[in-house]
């Protein structure tokens, strides 16, 4: 029985992939009078379905580790199915249904974590429901404009109507992707969610907001060129969106550096990465959209990889803070490589595909002549190196800082399999940066009526500004590495390992076991002394939202005082209201 | 075959240029400080001495592979920078790359090395790495902004195309786009670990920095890659702003004059703390860059 | 002898069975009949459905002219009758199967439950203003008694308070009836509707206000609903479920039925009711944020939904009205699930307070799962039935291009999420010391499961029933057809 259920669970997790292979045609039926649901698979949705098809089974696999949490498995099923519905939706109602199923099932999954506290779970669900209700409001407004729920370009609308629609839907999706200042729910929920589920939250669910943003562009046929005019070589409306994205990335990157907890760091890093995607969507050219999609793909691979690796560390050590870990490189080598490949992809370093994505976005910014945006993006993207380094140094290098870290063992096989698959995919795309472009991205661009950017071969990534060849790059680097290492080993002389980990040149002193030698917690603290960074790090939106919640409670208390338990007051109010309205009527109309 | 010979030649040229330039630097520095200073070959001797040390202490496998990664990164960087224009030689694999790729390749090696420093377990080393990354964060913003202005000017990210466009002195980047050159110059000195931005790894009373744990042959590797990286960056700037070079002598002359300029600037400024350096990069060069963007990009677009 | 299948059985059967209750005690048939009566009524409703869909059934039992009982079963009142019977069936089945408190299982409870059903059925079916008052009193009196069944201080207090406020409401309504009779000299609703326009304007306003206050108190509209939380909290959750499930729906239906029937142009009255509905909804949802007792929280939530229904019906467009009627049905199912779950939890943990229920989800997973389902449905999250009806209502507003109710409804739903999800979170709180759970009869879950199944079914496939609600809305809104049906048959 249990085996069958687990098999069913796996099949559901594989269903996005199966759907991609098997789906053709469309489905349609009436929900209620005048509301017709229809399911089709557009190329754009197909791209995001690919992301889901990668993330869903890879996250599902480690969830099958014993002891099984049946409730989590059961909730994962509607989550995945809801997201499929969301992507298959050919009309806004099925889109909304899928969106909401995703929202509540992910919330209930979040509750499965014993660490989730009330503030976090409330902020998660309230922000996501606010997003959903804004979405619904936008959908209803769309319906009043077009008379139909089907997703398609609008025609004959005024600028004001377009603006209302864009604001409603845009806010909904921006909450979901977690841009500033609507991001407050992201870090704590990614942090406190069950460790494996965080991978899905960051890898798959946040991408649905990206899907929505791109879908929003398709509603206005001319949004990419002329909604609110043009600025330099790009759309003026997108300029605002792009700045929102970039400011989000910068702030989130510094917040990530300041974190002392692995999952919180990854959460802020997710916000920053999705910020880049938002920027690219704002640019709106075919290069930029390709960059956005590419980055979405890479971010899914990288974040699922990193969150699963981190989940493995937490599973084996029970520690999640940088200061409590260290030196796991020898005890968890596979996880080390997982995180290493992950951060190289995350930092956008060549030769892994993170660079290809960033390259496209950078070039698109230059092409649009939005150089100040580019500078801000470079700021975030370079500062990201610091948190990437912290992420690998804290747990894996330095000195082991807790008994658990000293005795940890490699994560279980069921955690390692997805990591190895993801690493292989990342390296493959590093060799062939043009492969995702030609296979996954170009069809989307064609469907959106834009120029394709695929090059002559899978190895090449080409743009009008020039490109690069992944195979050559990778081979040069590998050959250089092999040569250097070989020559080095051929040289005369011996190498031997330090006798003890305390055999260090430590300011002329001899460190002992009691000397604080791990730099995991303090790393990046000196950044506070840089005026701009210090200013950013001192700010936060939590106070504002807590204040808002406090005001709501105060209003509840005030209104609640009307509901007293004394019947004479009830009667009094009824009579007074009656008399008052009668008096008002007589005054107005005359009895 | 051509590619192999060419690659070896590029690595050789950059190595030779590297130790000669830095040998000159040491002597020049000494003369400014009224000392005799070492010979111009001193850097070569030092480097060789490191390579033939018999003992090398390591702290685990990653500690060993870090310098290998940084060296491989240096080779790759050198091979993706075209040294000459209108020539079959000293091109490496530069036609497969572009400017943005080179900028990112410059960072690959140091990050590999950071892993080695981390696995050494010396907190002062990690502190140095963090400072280095912080400085990088500071200098990269104006540096990249300047490069972006160049890319926008030529509407390409290909170094070859940018070189080809500078066919005469009047078309040199430094003449046609002086703002970009000014924006880039100071961050460039920072990226060369030059004063006044050299607090990372500079000699201080408690030795701290990325290299604190390295010794013997590994230190030799680190020294070699630094010289080669410096040359790669110099050549890149020559390509972008000084019209490139048609033969090796012109290349050396142009690179040397650029080197001299940066050296002179380095010598007259006191060292800045990391956060001061970052703040400086974000105020002066970046401010200049923003001004440049407004002047060269925004104003023409508005007046058009 | 064959009994004619006529609407009168909806009133007559429960009344007869209730009055013969000593016999049933003797025969030990009390519980089967308690469940059987609403079941039979439900079957009757289903049997009458094909006829009703063709034309409204009008039945007049003349006692002495002009006094008589006019019953009218059209598509709209059919929905209410079916709803009352079905809710009654599930609630009584819970009482029977759940093996709960003995005071709900004795003869008095039997009588009052059946009287409540009879009264509500009478209210929605009657075509006569005086009969309406009589049925209103029947259902009122049985409700007061049901609240006080437990015979401890809180229950008696609730019963007494209910009696006081209910009597005031009845007085207001009675005044209105008297004034109408003085002005028109008729008590038949159709006849009154014809003559209503002839009444002088100020008198119309006076009558309207009297009715509004009288029925507004009963239908729990702001600012006449301050009594609700106390009564719901003091009563047994099953009884509260019945109040929220069909009692208030019946009053609400009567209110809107009168508005649409009596007024040739219901625009002004509708706008008033929309305003009251919006205020009811927002105020109740905000106040619910701070409630720490499950019954009280559910009471406020129920008020909020009543406000939403009033908002939808008051707008008077076909789509919003159909959606409003659908939402009535859906809300009944949902609140039944929630109140019955509250009954289970209260029986398990003795308390309904938030602090005492922390971690209850781990001790009573099934009950907590039903609570979660009900909560999701009441917030209107797909794929549950609350979503389908809310969507229908909102779509109606969007079609008309009126967006302020949309904004308010969504805002209210967000606030509602604020407290429901707090409860869900607390129910699943990880706690080392799980509260001790007292045994609960497993069969008690069966009625909840049925309602939960319908919640899911109607959410996934609302197209199965949407025709009924469209016809109901048409019947409710089409004044001319209603008048001609009655007057044509009655004259």
Q: Which of B64, B79, B151 sits opposite A366 (nearest CB)?
A: B151
Cα(B215)–Cα(C145) distance, rounded to whole angstroms?
93
- Whether the predicted pLDDT of A239 surpasses 90: no
**What pLDDT does residue C392 have?**
93
Distance from CA of B123 to the nearest CA of A (A): 6
Nearest CA in chain B to A525: B130
Distance from CA of A377 to the nearest CA of B (A): 9
Residue linked to tokens 């129920």:
C302
The set of residues, in sequence order, having a beta carbon less than 8 Å from that of A229 and lying 6+ positions away, is: A235, A236
Cα(C172)–Cα(C318) distance, rounded to whole angstroms?
31
Q: Note the Cα B148 to chain centre separation in Å.
A: 18
Q: Which of B118, B151, B207 sits opposite A397 (nearest CB)?
A: B118
- Confirm or reject contact between A35 and chain C (CB < 8 A): yes
Cβ atoms B105, B159 nearer than 8 A: no
How many beta-carbon pairs below 8 A join chains A and C?
164
**What pLDDT does residue C478 have?**
86
Residues of chain A positioned with their CB less than 8 A from the CB of B54: 492-494
Q: Helices (H) and strands (E) in chain C — how many of each?
A: 23, 2
Q: How many residues does chain C have?
A: 491
**What pLDDT does residue C1 have?**
41
Cβ atoms B258, B237 nearer than 8 A: yes
Domain locations in chain C as residue ranges: 9-490
Q: Using alpha carbons, select from A347, A260, A313, A326 the residue that is nearest to residue B60.
A: A326
- Confirm or reject contact between A140 and chain C (CB < 8 A): yes
Nearest CA in chain A to C208: A582
Q: Note the Cα B107 to chain centre separation in Å.
A: 10
- Confirm or reject contact between C455 and chain A (CB < 8 A): no
Residues of chain C positioned with their CB less than 8 A from the CB of A93: 391
Which whole number is the average pLDDT over B63-72?
A: 91
Q: How confident is the model at residue C488 (pLDDT cuts 50, 70, 90)?
A: low
Calculate Rg over the CA atoms of chain C: 21
- Whether the predicted pLDDT of A591 surpasses 60: no
Cα(B184)–Cα(B174) distance, rounded to whole angstroms?
11
Chains sharing 3 or more CB pairs under 8 A with chain A: B, C
Q: How confident is the model at residue C188 (pLDDT cuts 50, 70, 90)?
A: confident
A530-586 pLDDT, tens digit each: 888 889 888 888 888 899 999 999 999 998 888 888 888 888 888 898 899 888 887
In sign, the C-alpha dihedral spanning B232, B236, B238, B243 is: positive
Residue C102: Cβ-neighbour burial (10 angstroms; 0-12, 13-18, 19+): exposed
**What pLDDT does residue C481 have?**
81
Q: Which of A327, A472, A494 sits opposite B55 (nearest CB)?
A: A494
Overall pTM > 0.95: no
- Confirm or reject contact between A72 and chain C (CB < 8 A): no
Which whole number is the average pLDDT over B251-260?
A: 94
Cα(A343)–Cα(B170) distance, rounded to whole angstroms?
44
A443-488 pLDDT, tens digit each: 999 988 888 888 788 888 888 888 899 999 999 999 999 999 999 8
A94-132 pLDDT, tens digit each: 999 999 999 999 999 999 888 888 899 999 999 999 999
Q: How confident is the model at residue A226 (pLDDT cuts 50, 70, 90)?
A: low
Chains B and A touch (3+ CB pairs under 8 A): yes
Calculate Rg over the CA atoms of chain B: 19
User: C residues 221-260 near A, CB within 8 Å?
Assistant: 223-224, 226-227, 229-230
Cβ atoms C143, C169 nearer than 8 A: no
Q: How confident is the model at residue C490 (pLDDT cuts 50, 70, 90)?
A: very low
Query: Which one-letter DSSP state was computed for residue A193?
Result: S
Q: Which of B54, B126, B133 sits opposite A398 (nearest CB)?
A: B126
Nearest CA in chain A to C159: A567
Cα(A179)–Cα(A247) distance, rounded to whole angstroms?
9
Percent of chain C at pLDDT > 70 equals 97
Cβ atoms C402, C321 nearer than 8 A: no
- Whether the predicted pLDDT of C2 surpasses 60: no
Chains sharing 3 or more CB pairs under 8 A with chain B: A
Listed in sequence order, the DSSP H helices in chain B are 2-32, 42-51, 61-80, 99-120, 123-154, 159-165, 173-176, 178-191, 216-241, 248-267, 274-293, 299-303
Residues of chain A positioned with their CB less than 8 A from the CB of C217: 574
Cβ atoms C114, C39 nearer than 8 A: no
**Choosing among C176, C211, C387, C410, which should be mutated to test the A contact, i.e. which has the most A CBs within 10 A?**
C410
Chains sharing 3 or more CB pairs under 8 A with chain C: A
A246-264 pLDDT, tens digit each: 999 999 999 999 988 999 9
B199-214 pLDDT, tens digit each: 887 766 666 778 888 8
Higher pLDDT, B68 or C4: B68
Cα(A333)–Cα(B230) distance, rounded to whole angstroms?
34
- Confirm or reject contact between B114 and chain A (CB < 8 A): yes
**What pLDDT does residue A423 have?**
96
Nearest CA in chain A to B208: A507
Which whole number is the average pLDDT over A286-310?
A: 95
Q: Note the Cα B78 to chain centre separation in Å.
A: 11
- C-alpha dist (Å) from residue C124 to C186, C218, C302: 19, 14, 20
Which whole number is the average pLDDT over A482-508?
A: 84
Phi, psi (degrees; rounded to nearest 5) at A260:
-115, 10
User: A residues 557-586 near C, CB within 8 Å?
Assistant: 557, 559-560, 562-565, 567, 569-571, 573-574, 577-578, 581-582, 585-586
Residues of chain C positioned with their CB less than 8 A from the CB of A585: 202, 205, 209
In which domain, by residue range, is B146 found? 2-303
Residues of chain A positioned with their CB less than 8 A from the CB of C382: 96-97, 100-101
Tell if the CB–CB gap between B60 and A350 is shorter than 8 Å.
no
- Confirm or reject contact between B275 and chain A (CB < 8 A): yes
Q: How many residues does chain A have?
A: 591
Q: Which of A386, A503, A519 sits opposite B133 (nearest CB)?
A: A386
- Confirm or reject contact between B161 and chain A (CB < 8 A): yes
Tell if the CB–CB gap between A517 and B75 is shorter than 8 Å.
no
B271-299 pLDDT, tens digit each: 888 889 999 999 999 999 999 999 888 88
- Whether the predicted pLDDT of B165 surpasses 70: yes
Tell if the CB–CB gap between A129 and C414 is shorter than 8 Å.
yes
Q: Which of A355, A397, A505 sits opposite B119 (nearest CB)?
A: A397
A12-65 pLDDT, tens digit each: 999 999 999 988 888 888 888 888 889 999 999 999 999 999 999 999 999 998
Instruction: Give chain B's domain count.
Output: 1
Cis peptide before C66 (omega within 30 of 0): yes
A527-541 pLDDT, tens digit each: 888 888 889 888 888
Nearest CA in chain C to A105: C376
C198-210 pLDDT, tens digit each: 888 888 888 989 9
Nearest CA in chain A to B299: A232
Tell if the CB–CB gap between B158 and A477 is shorter than 8 Å.
no
Ranking A225-229, C392-396, C402-406 by mean pLDDT, the lowest is: A225-229
Chains B and C touch (3+ CB pairs under 8 A): no
**What pLDDT does residue C489 have?**
47
H/E run at residue A277: helix A262-283
- Whether the predicted pLDDT of A240 surpasses 60: yes
Domain locations in chain A as residue ranges: 1-221, 239-493+517-560, 565-591
C72-106 pLDDT, tens digit each: 888 999 999 999 999 999 999 999 888 778 888 88
Q: Can you list the positions of beta strands (E) in A435-574?
A: 460-461, 468-469, 494-497
Tell if the CB–CB gap between A133 and C388 is shorter than 8 Å.
no
Cα(A285)–Cα(A497) distance, rounded to whole angstroms?
54
Cα(A138)–Cα(A144) distance, rounded to whole angstroms?
10
- Whether the predicted pLDDT of A513 surpasses 90: no
- Whether the predicted pLDDT of C391 surpasses 90: yes
In sign, the C-alpha dihedral spanning B272, B275, B281, B283 is: negative
Residue C483: Cβ within 10 Å count: 16
Tell if the CB–CB gap between A497 and B207 is shorter than 8 Å.
no
Cα(C308)–Cα(C279) distance, rounded to whole angstroms?
9
- Whether the predicted pLDDT of C3 surpasses 70: no
- Confirm or reject contact between B60 and chain A (CB < 8 A): yes
Q: Using alpha carbons, select from C479, C477, C124, C472 the residue that is nearest to residue C322.
A: C472
């Amino acid at each position: 029985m249990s085996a069958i259920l687990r098999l069913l669970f796996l099949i559901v997790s594989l269903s996005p992939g199966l759907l991609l292979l098997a789906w053709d045609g469309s489905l349609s039926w009436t929900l209620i009078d005048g509301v017709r649901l229809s399911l089709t698979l557009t190329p754009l949705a197909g791209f995001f379905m690919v992301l889901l098809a990668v993330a869903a089974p890879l996250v599902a696999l480690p969830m099958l580790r014993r002891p099984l949490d049946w409730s989590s498995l059961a909730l994962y099923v509607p989550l995945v199915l809801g997201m499929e519905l969301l992507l298959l939706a050919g009309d806004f109602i099925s889109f909304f249904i899928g969106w909401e199923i995703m929202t509540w099932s992910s919330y209930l999954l979040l509750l499965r974590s014993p660490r989730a506290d009330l503030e976090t779970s409330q902020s998660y669900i309230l922000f996501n429901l606010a997003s959903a209700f804004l979405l619904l409001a936008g959908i209803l407004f769309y319906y009043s404009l077009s008379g139909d729920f089907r997703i398609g370009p609008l025609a004959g609308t005024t600028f004001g109507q377009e603006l209302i629609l864009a604001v409603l839907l845009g806010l909904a999706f921006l909450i979901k992707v977690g841009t500033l200042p609507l991001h407050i729910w992201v870090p704590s929920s990614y942090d406190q969610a069950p460790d494996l589920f965080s991978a899905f939250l960051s890898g798959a669910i946040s991408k649905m907001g990206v899907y929505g943003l791109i879908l929003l562009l398709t509603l206005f046929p001319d949004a990419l060129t002329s909604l609110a005019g043009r600025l330099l070589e790009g759309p003026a409306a997108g300029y605002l969106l792009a700045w929102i994205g970039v400011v989000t990335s910068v702030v989130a990157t510094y917040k990530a550096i300041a974190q002392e907890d692995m999952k919180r760091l990854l959460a802020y890093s997710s916000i920053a990465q999705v910020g880049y995607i938002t920027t690219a969507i704002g640019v709106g050219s075919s290069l930029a959209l390709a960059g956005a999609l590419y980055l979405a793909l890479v971010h899914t691979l990288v974040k699922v990889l990193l969150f699963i690796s981190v989940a493995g560390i937490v599973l084996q050590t029970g520690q999640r803070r940088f200061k409590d870990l260290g030196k796991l490189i020898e005890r968890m080598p596979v996880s080390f490589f997982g995180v290493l490949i992950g951060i190289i992809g995350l930092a956008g370093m060549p030769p892994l595909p993170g660079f290809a994505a960033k390259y496209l976005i950078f070039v698109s910014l230059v092409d649009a002549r939005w150089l100040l945006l580019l500078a801000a993006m470079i700021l975030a993207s370079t500062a990201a190196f610091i948190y990437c380094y912290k992420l690998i140094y804290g747990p894996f290098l330095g000195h082991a800082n807790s008994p658990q870290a000293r005795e940890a063992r490699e994560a279980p096989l069921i955690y390692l399999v997805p990591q190895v698959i993801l690493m292989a995919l990342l390296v493959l795309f590093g060799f062939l940066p043009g492969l995702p472009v030609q296979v996954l991205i170009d069809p989307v661009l064609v469907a959106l009526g834009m120029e394709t950017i695929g090059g002559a071969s899978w190895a090449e990534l080409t743009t009008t500004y020039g490109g690069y060849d992944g195979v050559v790059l990778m081979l040069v680097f590998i050959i250089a590495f092999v040569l250097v290492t070989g020559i080095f080993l051929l040289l005369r002389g011996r190498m031997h390992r330090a006798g003890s980990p305390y055999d260090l040149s430590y300011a002329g002193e001899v460190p002992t076991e009691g000397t604080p030698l791990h730099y995991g917690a303090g790393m990046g603290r000196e950044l506070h002394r840089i005026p701009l960074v210090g200013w950013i790090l001192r700010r936060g939106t939590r106070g504002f939202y807590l204040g808002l919640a406090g005001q709501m409670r105060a209003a509840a208390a005030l209104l609640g005082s009307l509901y007293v338990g004394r019947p004479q007051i009830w009667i009094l109010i009824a009579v007074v209201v009656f008399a008052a309205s009668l008096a008002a009527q007589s005054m107005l109309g005359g009895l | 075959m051509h590619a192999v010979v060419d690659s070896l030649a590029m690595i050789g040229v950059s190595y030779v240029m590297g130790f000669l330039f830095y040998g000159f630097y040491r002597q020049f520095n000494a003369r400014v400080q009224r000392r005799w200073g070492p010979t111009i070959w001193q850097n070569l001797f030092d480097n060789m001495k490191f390579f033939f040390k018999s003992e090398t202490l390591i702290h685990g496998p990653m500690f060993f592979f870090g310098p290998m990664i940084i060296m491989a990164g240096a080779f790759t960087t050198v091979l993706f920078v075209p040294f000459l224009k209108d020539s079959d030689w000293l091109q490496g694999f530069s036609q497969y790359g572009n400017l943005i790729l080179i900028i990112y390749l410059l960072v690959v090696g140091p990050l590999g090395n950071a892993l080695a420093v981390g696995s050494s377990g010396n907190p002062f080393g990690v502190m140095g790495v963090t400072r280095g990354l912080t400085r990088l964060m500071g200098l990269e913003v104006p540096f990249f902004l300047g490069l972006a202005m160049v890319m926008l000017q030529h509407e390409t990210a290909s170094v070859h195309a940018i070189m080809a466009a500078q066919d005469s002195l009047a078309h040199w980047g430094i003449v046609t786009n002086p703002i970009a050159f000014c924006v880039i110059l100071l961050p460039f000195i920072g990226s060369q670990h030059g004063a006044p931005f050299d607090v990372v790894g500079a000699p201080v009373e408690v030795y701290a920095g990325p290299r604190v744990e390295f010794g013997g042959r590994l230190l030799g590797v680190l020294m070699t890659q630094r010289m080669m990286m410096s040359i790669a960056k110099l050549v890149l700037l020559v390509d972008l702003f000084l019209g490139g070079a048609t033969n090796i002598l012109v290349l050396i002359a142009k690179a040397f004059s650029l080197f001299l300029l940066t050296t002179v600037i380095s010598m007259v400024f006191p060292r800045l703390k990391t956060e001061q350096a970052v703040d400086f990069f974000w105020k002066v060069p970046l401010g200049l860059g923003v001004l440049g963007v407004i002047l060269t990009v925004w104003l023409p677009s508005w007046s058009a | 002898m064959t009994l004619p299948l006529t609407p009168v059985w909806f009133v007559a059967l429960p009344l007869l069975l209730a009055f013969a209750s000593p016999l049933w005690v003797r025969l030990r048939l009390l519980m089967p009949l308690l469940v059987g009566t609403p079941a039979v009524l439900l079957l009757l409703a289903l049997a009458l459905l094909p006829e009703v869909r063709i034309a409204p059934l009008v039945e007049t039992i003349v006692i002495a002219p002009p006094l008589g009982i006019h019953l009218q079963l059209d598509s709209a009142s059919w929905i209410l009758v079916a709803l009352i019977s079905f809710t009654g069936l599930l609630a009584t089945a819970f009482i029977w199967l759940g093996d709960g408190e003995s005071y709900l299982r004795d003869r008095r409870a039997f009588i009052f439950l059946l009287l409540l059903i009879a009264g509500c059925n009478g209210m929605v079916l009657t075509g006569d203003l005086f009969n309406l008052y009589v049925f209103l009193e029947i259902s009122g009196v049985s409700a007061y008694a049901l609240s006080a069944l437990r015979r401890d201080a809180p229950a008696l207090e609730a019963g007494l308070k209910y009696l006081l406020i209910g009597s005031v409401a009845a007085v207001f309504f009675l005044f209105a009836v008297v004034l109408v009779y003085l002005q028109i000299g008729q008590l038949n609703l159709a006849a009154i509707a014809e003559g209503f326009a002839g009444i002088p304007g100020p008198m119309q306003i006076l009558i309207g206000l009297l009715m509004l206050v009288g029925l507004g108190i009963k239908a729990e509209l702001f600012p006449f609903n301050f009594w609700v939380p106390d009564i719901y909290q003091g009563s047994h959750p099953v009884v509260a479920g019945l109040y929220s499930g069909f009692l208030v729906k019946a009053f609400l239906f009567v209110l809107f039925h009168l508005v649409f029937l009596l007024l040739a142009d219901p625009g002004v009255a509708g706008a008033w009711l929309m305003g009251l509905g919006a205020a009811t909804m927002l105020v109740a949802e905000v106040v619910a944020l701070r409630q720490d007792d499950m019954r009280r929280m559910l009471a406020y939530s129920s008020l909020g939904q009543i406000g939403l229904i009033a908002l939808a019906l008051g707008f008077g467009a076909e789509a919003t009205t159909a959606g409003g009627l659908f939402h009535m049905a859906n809300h009944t199912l949902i609140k039944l699930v929630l109140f019955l779950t509250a009954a289970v939890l209260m029986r398990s943990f003795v308390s309904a307070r938030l602090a005492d229920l922390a971690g209850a989800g781990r001790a009573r997973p099934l009950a907590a799962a039903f609570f979660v389902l009900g909560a999701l449905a009441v917030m209107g999250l797909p794929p549950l039935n609350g979503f389908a009806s809310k969507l229908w209502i909102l779509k109606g507003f969007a079609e008309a291009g009126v967006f302020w109710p949309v904004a308010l409804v969504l805002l209210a739903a967000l606030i509602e999420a604020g407290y429901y999800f707090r409860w869900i979170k607390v129910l699943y709180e990880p706690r080392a010391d799980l509260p001790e759970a007292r045994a609960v009869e497993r069969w008690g879950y069966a009625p909840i499961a049925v309602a939960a199944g319908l919640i899911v079914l109607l959410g996934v496939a609302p197209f199965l029933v949407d025709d009924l609600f469209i016809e109901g809305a048409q019947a409710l809104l089409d004044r001319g057809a209603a008048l001609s049906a009655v007057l044509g048959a009655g004259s």
